[in-house]
């Protein structure tokens, strides 16, 4: 089955940490060049947060640089997003996605999407 499944979201206070996980089907993980994390807050566009390429190279949105870290476990076909020093403005639904374009954070260049996991940060 072709799918992406996120987990790890929740509610935390500002300054706290969360780790999101995304389990990918073998088909997606083995045929994608780039895996990414996006988020969408109510009333806002879905925006790229982080991307990680085949060789582990990462890229981050300016708003999360130094606070979020993307990583992956190839043996487990799993993508991670370690989030620390969380802020109320990080509150959003977080999605993982897979692309056949190298190192991209452009939403339209992603082919597969998960259902999302909610992150809520209270002040």
pLDDT, tens digit, 9 for 90 and up, residues 14-28: 999 999 999 999 999
CB 81 within 8 A of CB 70: yes
pLDDT digits (tens, 9 = 90+) for 50-106: 999 999 999 999 999 999 999 999 999 999 999 999 999 999 999 999 999 999 999
Q: How many CB atoms lie within 10 A of CB 17?
A: 11
CA–CA gap between residue 58 and residue 52 (Å, rounded): 4
SS3 73: strand
């Amino acid at each position: 089955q072709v799918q992406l499944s996120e987990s790890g979201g929740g509610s935390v206070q500002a300054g706290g940490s969360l780790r999101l996980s995304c389990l990918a089907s073998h088909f997606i993980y083995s045929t994608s060049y780039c895996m990414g994390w996006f988020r969408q807050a109510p009333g806002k566009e879905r925006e790229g947060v982080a991307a990680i390429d085949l060789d582990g190279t990462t890229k981050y949105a300016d708003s999360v640089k130094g606070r979020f870290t993307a990583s992956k476990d190839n043996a487990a076909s799993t993508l991670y997003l370690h989030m620390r020093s969380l802020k109320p403005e990080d509150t959003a639904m977080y999605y993982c996605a897979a692309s056949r374009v190298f190192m991209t954070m452009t939403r339209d260049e992603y082919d597969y999407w998960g259902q999302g996991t909610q992150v809520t940060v209270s002040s």
